[in-house]
């Protein structure tokens, strides 16, 4: 889970979870500062397995719905797949063959290359909409995702 405690009113087909999905917008910096990227992605998938029509987010100008959750899930999974692909292109085993300072400099360059290239690719697909904020947050999303892909995937 993401730290949110979702609430449901099944007979009304209402689901509530704050800070995981905002209609018409990408998540904020670092995927809303999640501490568990995979839990975040799984939560979106689990929500879509539930029977709901209205989604109360707590930070929106309008009531969200199933399509909003699906759109957020699709964006998050697109960032994941793109970063994973970029990571495989930029992985450099020689990073660890030299002294610690050189290792850190090479690692910084590798991570920067991954998230910058992934961010450019994701931005190209999503810049025309339908989510606001892609241009503002995509680099932080790719940076956050690259750490999870690199060390936890």
Q: Is residue 74 part of a domain?
A: yes
Q: Is residue 1 part of a domain?
A: no
pLDDT in tens, 56-97: 987 777 899 999 999 999 999 999 999 999 988 876 666 666
Calculate the average pLDDT of the chain: 88
* Nearest residue to 121 via CA among 84, 152, 71: 84
pLDDT at position 4 over 70: no
Residue identified by tokens 């970029």 is: 86
Q: Where are the alpha helices (DSSP H) in the chain?
A: 29-33, 37-49, 66-90, 100-126, 134-152
Q: Is residue 2 part of a domain?
A: no
pLDDT in tens, 25-60: 999 999 988 889 999 999 999 999 999 999 998 777
Q: Is residue 144 part of a domain?
A: yes
Q: Is residue 66 part of a domain?
A: yes
> Could you give the angle at the alpha carbon of 58 between the alpha carbons of 57 and 62, nearest 5°?
70
**Predicted local distance difference test score (pLDDT) of residue 14:** 94
- Domains: count for the chain: 1
**Predicted local distance difference test score (pLDDT) of residue 98:** 66
Counted residue by residue, the chain has a size of 153
Q: Is the pTM of this model over 0.75?
A: yes
For 91-112, what is the mean pLDDT?
76
Q: Is residue 65 part of a domain?
A: yes
pLDDT at position 11 over 70: yes
> What's the gap between Cα 98 and its chain centre?
33
Q: Is residue 84 part of a domain?
A: yes
Query: Measured between alpha carbons, how far is residue 112 from residues 55, 84, 85 in Å?
Result: 36, 14, 14
Containing structural domain, residue 130 = 7-152
Query: Measured between alpha carbons, how far is residue 43 from residues 4, 76, 108 in Å?
Result: 10, 11, 30
Q: Please, which pLDDT band fits residue 102 given cuts at 50, 70 and 90?
A: confident
**Predicted local distance difference test score (pLDDT) of residue 80:** 97
| 81 token code pair | 């797949």
Residue identified by tokens 């450099």 is: 92
């Amino acid at each position: 889970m993401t730290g949110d405690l979702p609430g449901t009113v099944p007979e009304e087909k209402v689901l509530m979870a704050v800070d995981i999905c905002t209609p018409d917008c990408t998540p904020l910096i670092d995927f809303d500062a999640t501490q568990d990227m995979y839990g975040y992605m799984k939560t979106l998938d689990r929500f879509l397995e539930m029977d709901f029509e209205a989604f109360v987010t707590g930070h929106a100008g309008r009531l969200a719905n199933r399509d909003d959750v699906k759109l957020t899930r699709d964006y998050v999974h697109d960032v994941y797949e793109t970063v994973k692909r970029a990571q495989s292109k930029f992985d450099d085993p020689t990073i660890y063959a030299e002294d610690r300072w050189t290792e850190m400099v090479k690692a910084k360059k590798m991570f920067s290359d991954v998230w910058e290239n992934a961010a450019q690719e994701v931005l190209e697909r999503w810049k025309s909409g339908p989510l606001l904020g892609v241009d503002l947050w995509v680099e932080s999303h790719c940076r956050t995702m690259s750490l999870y892909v690199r060390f936890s995937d």
